């Protein structure tokens, strides 16, 4: 076996496997687009065809927007995910800076607690958090959607690991130049950590944009609903679920993420490889 003549069979096998994997990943999306483009009659027909005989995407979209206030839901999604992300960064960066660069008693113990926090699934604390929000009278509000997520132990961990790689001399130079400790976080560490913040932002925004569980628990009012809750509108036990508009709505909901991905593809991949998380 020489390197100059790689066995083509291997290359073929590799690509076949990759294509199969990609197809498996894409299948639900293709199904969604297909269903969103079909009229109700075709959706329920027993034969399997991906390309509809009659394109009904526009009808389904129109119905989706008519049935639910999709624009409002999208706006809610933007408000909630951006607020969560901004607050997470405001908490995680100073905390990560302290854990990475300051020497104080109990630092290692605190960091161990952060790691421990990563292990706790959010569902485990859902009921206590719900009760706390209830006691504080904050249920059914933006605050209920945002506050529980402002402290991201994952974010603290990720940023701390990144800050560890920033040279100590840079921090000392900033101190000599008269920058305060908080100033160092925002003026020195944040610019140095933009790739890590981007990566964290991607995880955070995707997770909270797509979150179905928490908004479902804490919300009542329709005007506060986030995009994933929109699908609940189209599930109707009496009249039967209207799959066409539902899938059209689903398309609208994931569209912002897909568009954002296309714009920031390079950053996205940089971020993922940076964190080593897939």
Partner 1 sequence: MAQIELSAIRKSFDGTDVLKGIDFRIENGEFISLVGPSGCGKSTLLRIIAGLEPQNSGQVHIDGRPVDAIRPSARNLAMVFQSYALYPHLSTFDNIAVPLRMRRLSAIERLPLLGTLLPSRRAKERHIRADVEGIAEQLDIAPLLRRKPGQLSGGQRQRVAVGRAMVREPLAFLFDEPLSNLDAKLRVHMRAELAELHRRLKATFIYVTHDQAEAMTMSSRIAVMMGGELIQAGTPAEIYDHPNDIRVAEFIGSPKINVLPGRIRKDGGVDVLGTALRLSCNAAAGECRVGVRPERIDVGAGPFSGTVVHLENLGAEAFVHLAIDGAGLRLIARLADVRHLPAMASSVAFGFAADAVRIFDPAGKRIELRAEQAERMREPAHV
Interface residues toward partner 1, by CB under 8 A = 167, 169-170, 172-179, 188, 191-192, 194
CB of 89 to partner 1, least distance (A): 15
* Closer CB to partner 1, 84 or 184, in the complex: 184
* Closer CB to partner 1, 42 or 181, in the complex: 181
Nearest to 226 by CA among 103, 72, 53, 34: 72
Do residues 93 and 189 lie in contact, with contact meaning Cβ atoms separated by under 8 Å? yes
Place of tokens 């999306």: 29
* Closer CB to partner 1, 182 or 213, in the complex: 182
The rounded distance, in Å, linking the Cα atoms of 185 and 97 is: 7
CB of 236 to partner 1, least distance (A): 49
* Chain-centre distance for alpha carbon 255: 13
CB of 81 to partner 1, least distance (A): 23
The rounded distance, in Å, linking the Cα atoms of 40 and 242 is: 8
Do residues 151 and 91 lie in contact, with contact meaning Cβ atoms separated by under 8 Å? yes
* Closer CB to partner 1, 148 or 271, in the complex: 271
CB of 274 to partner 1, least distance (A): 16
Could you tell me the CA-to-CA distances from 48 to 29, 43, 57, 253, 276 in Å, in that order?
16, 9, 18, 26, 40
* Closer CB to partner 1, 59 or 181, in the complex: 181
């Amino acid at each position: 076996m020489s390197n100059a003549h790689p066995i083509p069979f291997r290359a073929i096998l590799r690509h076949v496997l990759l294509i199969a994997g990609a197809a498996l990943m894409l299948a639900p999306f293709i199904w969604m687009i297909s269903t969103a483009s079909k009229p109700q009659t075709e959706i329920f027909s027993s034969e399997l065809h991906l390309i509809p005989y009659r394109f009904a995407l526009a009808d389904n979209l129109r119905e989706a927007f008519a049935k639910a206030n999709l624009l409002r839901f999208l706006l809610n999604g933007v408000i909630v995910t951006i607020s969560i992300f901004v607050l997470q960064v405001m908490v995680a960066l100073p905390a990560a800076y302290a854990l990475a660069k300051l020497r104080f008693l109990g630092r290692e113990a605190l960091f161990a607690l952060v790691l421990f926090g990563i292990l706790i699934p959010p569902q485990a604390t859902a009921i206590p958090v719900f009760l706390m929000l209830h006691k504080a009278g904050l249920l059914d509000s933006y605050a209920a959607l945002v506050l529980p997520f402002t402290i991201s132990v994952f974010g603290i961990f990720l940023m701390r690991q990144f800050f560890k790689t920033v040279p100590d001399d840079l921090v000392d130079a900033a101190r000599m130049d008269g920058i305060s400790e908080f100033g160092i976080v925002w003026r020195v560490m944040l610019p140095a950590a933009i790739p890590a913040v981007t990566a964290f932002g991607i995880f955070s925004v995707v997770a909270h944009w797509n979150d179905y569980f928490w908004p479902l628990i804490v919300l009542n009012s329709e005007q506060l609903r986030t995009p994933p809750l929109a699908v609940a509108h189209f599930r109707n036990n009496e009249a039967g679920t209207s799959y066409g508009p539902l899938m059209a709505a689903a398309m609208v909901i994931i569209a912002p993420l897909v568009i954002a991905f296309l714009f920031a593809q390079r950053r996205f991949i940089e971020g993922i490889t940076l964190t080593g998380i897939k």
